[in-house]
Amino acid sequence: MFEFVWWWMLLLLPLPWLVQRLFAVKQEEQAQAGLFIPFADDLRAITATQTSLRKHHKYGYLLWLAWLFLLVAAARPQWLGEPVELSRSGRDLMLAIDLSGSMQTQDFVLSGQQVDRLTATKAIASDFIARREGDRVGLILFGAQAYLQTPLTFDRKTVNQFLSEAVIGLAGKETAIGDAIGLAVKRLQHVKNAQDLVLILLTDGVNTAGALKPEEAVKLAKQIGLRIYTIGIGADRMAVRSFFGTQMVNPSADLDEAMLQNIADETGGQYFRAKDTQALQQIYALIDKLEPVARDSQTFRPVRALLVYPLAASFILLLLLLWLRKRG
Q: What is the DSSP annotation of 51-84?
A: HHHHHTGGGHHHHHHHHHHHHHHHT-EEEE---E
H or E element in which residue 241 lies = strand 238-242
Shared domain for 67 and 94, answered yes or no, is no
| Cβ contacts of 300 within 8 Å, gap of 6 or more | 83, 84, 85, 86
Shared domain for 46 and 117, answered yes or no, is no
Q: 38-47, 119-128, 283-292: lowest mean pLDDT where?
A: 38-47
Query: For residue 27, how many other CB atoms are within 10 A of its CB?
Result: 15
Sign of CA dihedral 43, 48, 49, 55: positive
Shared domain for 13 and 120, answered yes or no, is no
Shared domain for 113 and 34, answered yes or no, is no
Shared domain for 216 and 250, answered yes or no, is yes
Q: Residue 246 — pLDDT band, cuts 50, 70, 90?
A: low
Shared domain for 205 and 170, answered yes or no, is yes
Shared domain for 200 and 235, answered yes or no, is yes
Averaged pLDDT score across all residues of the chain: 80
Give the pTM: 0.62
Q: What percent of the chain has pLDDT over 70?
A: 79
Domain of residue 201, residue span: 85-299
Shared domain for 162 and 234, answered yes or no, is yes
Spatial distance between the Cα atoms of 31 and 14, rounded to a whole number of angstroms: 26
Shared domain for 240 and 166, answered yes or no, is yes
**pLDDT, tens digit (0-9, with 9 covering 90-100), for 75-125:** 888 888 777 655 555 578 899 999 998 898 888 888 888 888 899 999 889
pLDDT at residue 53 is higher than 70: no
The CATH number linked to 273 is 3.40.50.410
Shared domain for 31 and 45, answered yes or no, is yes
Shared domain for 252 and 118, answered yes or no, is yes
- Contact 162/139 with Cβ under 8 angstroms? yes
